[in-house]
Amino acid sequence: MPVTKTDTSSASLTHASLELLEPGKTPGVPGPKIGEIKFQMNPKELTMSKSASWKVEKQKKASSAPPATYQGPDPQKLSVELFLDDTRGGSGDSVVTRVEKLFQACAPTKDSQRGDTPSPPWVRFSWGVLAGFVGYIKSVSAKYTVFSPTGTPLRAVCTVALEEIAEEAGKQNPTSGGLKPRRLHVVREGDTLAGIAYREYGNAALWRQVAEVNGIDDPIRLAPGRSVFLPSGDELAGPAGRATARAEVARVVR
């Protein structure tokens, strides 16, 4: 069993816990604490992972694999087990009640249901140097292992999977002030300006500004291998910025 038995009389003992927080209005900034799920026994191990997304546009006529395009980092993940035991009684809520609290953490909070964006509570994993991981519960599974003579669960092992909540907003529409570094995109078979604009700026409607900057008359017919200049957000926001970007295209691309 992946748990570490601890002496609860020790003054230096710190129990792991999952703090339940009201969903925040600002990315990475949670609301007030609305509950807490404490570990009876600290976990012996936990798993943290981090990955990135890459996209490969397959080309039927290509003789080798095309280059991959970096799409951005994926949320950090944390998986941990909770050991729940009530075989001796007197531990407060029953095992079933504590498991139900974990399941309820996957449902929207009452306050968030009153608004336009219902959301389950955010969760802060707290334990020693790992305290401060803020995310949401992606999944919960409970395995009951010991039962009373009447069939009441007395012991369970719960696996909780968490995903981090970003501390900053994602890409913004350049007209609202979001910035994107300049770069060149080499057109691959199947690319469209709307698709490129969506991947780069999060707004497919900006294909017109990208077309204007690059002097593209027919946005539907993009020749594979052509370089498309992708300006910053400020440059797309107004005529003066796009004029600067066109000058850069003349210098770099052509």
- Predicted confidence (pLDDT) per residue in 224-236, tens digit: 888 888 887 667 7
- Residue 53 binned pLDDT confidence (cut-offs 50, 70, 90): confident
Percent of the chain with pLDDT over 70: 78
- Residue 154 binned pLDDT confidence (cut-offs 50, 70, 90): very high
Average pLDDT over all residues of the chain: 79
pLDDT of residue 36: 92
pLDDT of residue 49: 93
Q: Cα 224 to chain center, whole Å?
A: 33
Judge if pTM exceeds 0.85.
no
pLDDT of residue 107: 93
Compute, in degrees rounded to 10, the torsion defined by CA atoms 31, 35, 36, 37. Answer: -130
CB atoms within 10 A of CB 238: 13
Do residues 244 and 235 touch, judged by C-beta distance below 8 A?
Answer: yes
Asked whether the predicted pLDDT for residue 78 surpasses 90, the reply is: yes
Fold of 175-252: Membrane-bound Lytic Murein Transglycosylase D; Chain A (3.10.350)
Fold of 3-164: Elongation Factor Tu (Ef-tu); domain 3 (2.40.30)
- Residue with the larger pLDDT of the pair 54 and 131: 54
Query: Domain boundaries in the chain?
Result: 3-164, 175-252
pLDDT of residue 27: 64
pLDDT of residue 194: 82
- Residue with the larger pLDDT of the pair 40 and 218: 40
- Residue 1 binned pLDDT confidence (cut-offs 50, 70, 90): very low
Asked whether the predicted pLDDT for residue 196 surpasses 80, the reply is: yes
- Residue with the larger pLDDT of the pair 178 and 129: 129
Q: Cα 55 to chain center, whole Å?
A: 18
Residues 7, 51: Cα–Cα separation, whole Å: 37
Which of 11-25, 54-68, 74-88 is the least confident region? 54-68
Do residues 34 and 20 touch, judged by C-beta distance below 8 A?
Answer: yes
